[in-house]
Structures are given as C-alpha cells and as structure tokens.
Amino acid sequence: MHIEAMKTRQIVIGRLLPIGLLVLAGTFAFSRGPKTETIEASAMGTGTQLGQVIGVTLDIYEWSTPEDRQILIDAFTKGQNQGLVNALSKMKAVGHCSITGTLGYDVSYIRMVPTPTGRKIVFVTNRQIRFGEAFFDTQSQSYNLTAGEFNLDAADKSKSTGVVYPATQLIIDKQGQLQFDLAQNPWKLVDVLDWQGTPGVN
C-alpha cells in the first residue's frame, strides 16, 4: 500500500512539474516586459564631415501616439520651432539614440509609417546631438533639435537606409507631417540592422 502511494505521488509530481515550469517561464517573461526594438547603423558624414563614420543606435521602447502627434502640431501652431522644442522636452521618452563616444539622448517622438517595401521610422530627440569634434556650436541656437529616419526594406535588408539630421529646426506642413530645416549636412546611414521588438508594441 505504501509503495502504491509513492508511485501515485511520483506520477502526480511528474505531471505537475512541466506545468509549473511553464507558469514560471511565463511569469519571468512577463516580468521582463516588452522587448525593445533596436536599429543599428553606421553614419557617414557628408560635405565638411565627409569620410567620418560613427555608430548610431536607436532603441524603440514604444511608438508615439496620434495624440502625441497632435500635441506637436498644436505646439508648432502656437510657437513654431521653439514651441516644438518645449513640447518635446515635456514628453516621456519613447526611445533612446546612442552615438559613438556619447551616453546618448532620449527620443521624445517616434513614428512608424508602412511603405510598399517595408517601414519608414521617423524619430526626434529633444536636443541637438553633436558628433564629437565634427560639430562645433557655430550655428544659430534655434537649430536645437536632432531628427532622423530609417527606411527599412523587409524583402531585402541590404537596401535599408537612413539619415540623421544633427542640427535642425522642425516644420510641420499643411498635412501635419514633420519637415526638416537643416543647419548642417545630414549624415547618411548605411549597414542598417533591425532587431525586432515585441509585436504590437514597437
């Protein structure tokens, strides 16, 4: 009788153990939260910065909402570029942009737009990024934001490209789209790698 009880207990434990492991794994995965999407690229200088190559990494925590976009439109209507600067500085960080040699900068606005070949991702920090000695502060302080975009090709990743605008003013056109007024030459992004995040989040 004692032996049969032990066998029964072993069978029950054997069946419950996989279930417990699955629950534990699910709990652990949930506690870690959504996985961040990360896009890496090499920035190549143009114009006076021609020949310089610097690493750029964009971590996407989440996408900006239509409400965020409307906040920027309203801020631009009231205060033009400086209104946008003020609004962006008050928004929570939805991502982070890291540049070789710097600690990086919070990204206040990230929007994803589907394209025929994949996705276009536009991002804006709440301050100007300087790439080391390549960017001396000789421009007007009104060019005090950094923006950029990635064009990701889903079918052929080697065709994915991007651009960083290191010193820019933002302009919102009549269609409510962000446009860039540049103080310095844009940096072309090559060798783009996209590490997908959690579907439906980023």
Please give the model's pTM, rounded to 2 decimal places: 0.70
Is the pLDDT at 118 greater than 80? The verdict is yes
Count of CB atoms situated within 10 Å of the CB of 159: 13
Is the pLDDT at 25 greater than 70? The verdict is no
What pLDDT, on a 0 to 100 scale, did the predictor assign at position 162? 93
Is the pLDDT at 90 greater than 60? The verdict is yes
- Tell me phi and psi for residue 32, to 5 degrees: -75, -20
CA-to-CA distance for 23 and 21, rounded, in angstroms? 5
Pair 40, 192: CB distance under 8 Å:
yes
> What is the DSSP-derived secondary structure letter of residue 24?
H
Residue 133 exposure: Cα atoms within 13 Å on the Cβ side = 1
130: which 2 tokens?
């300087």
